[in-house]
Structure 1
Amino acid sequence: MKGFTRGDVARLRDWYRVRPGYWFAPKAYGLGAVPVTWQGWLLTAGFVLLALLIAGIAQQRSPAWLALLAPLTIGFVGLCWAKTDGGWRWRWGAEDRK
């Protein structure tokens, strides 16, 4: 199986480079973004930890977990959208970067 070459690594680095002030880069395929700075990774990890905490604390048969998780998710997605360099739209890979 072929491994990564220096050209592959450089191409990935260029693909996920963002301007200052942005924490996420658009995904190469599909809709959404990926964290590329420490701030983006911290926000993502914080969201996951808070979601797990809410799921663990809320009673299983109570809809209270949804009342807590919905605003958390909306806020997370909104902040990701605002901090993505290039915006969100459906992408088809390398031919879509032209």
Structure 2
Amino acid sequence: LVNHNAYLASSSAPQIAYALLDQQSPEYSPSEAGLVVPVFQKGDDPINAINHMMSFLTSVVASRYPVTNNKLRTSLNPRQQATINNGRVTIQPI
């Protein structure tokens, strides 16, 4: 678990401090996954801190979920629409 403590710096820019808590989830441990939880200080650049957190979150997701193939493919079974006109059925692809 990560403790999130928000505070305002003298420049009024919101910054976040992240600290590791003593209690860890039994099902997931960042140290077992080879992940280092970033800890940010009051003087850190907010944009740099966000970039580091995004990198950390990307590492967490990549370590927990398999890669998927998201390429679009042409269906081998396209949907069709049937129209009935004067007793005749006309089938058209949608």
* TM-score, normalisation: structure 1: 0.29
Q: Which has the larger radius of gyration?
A: 2
TM-score (norm 2): 0.30
Which fold has the larger relative contact order, with Cα–Cα distance below 8 Å and residues 6 or more apart in sequence? 1
More strand by share: 2
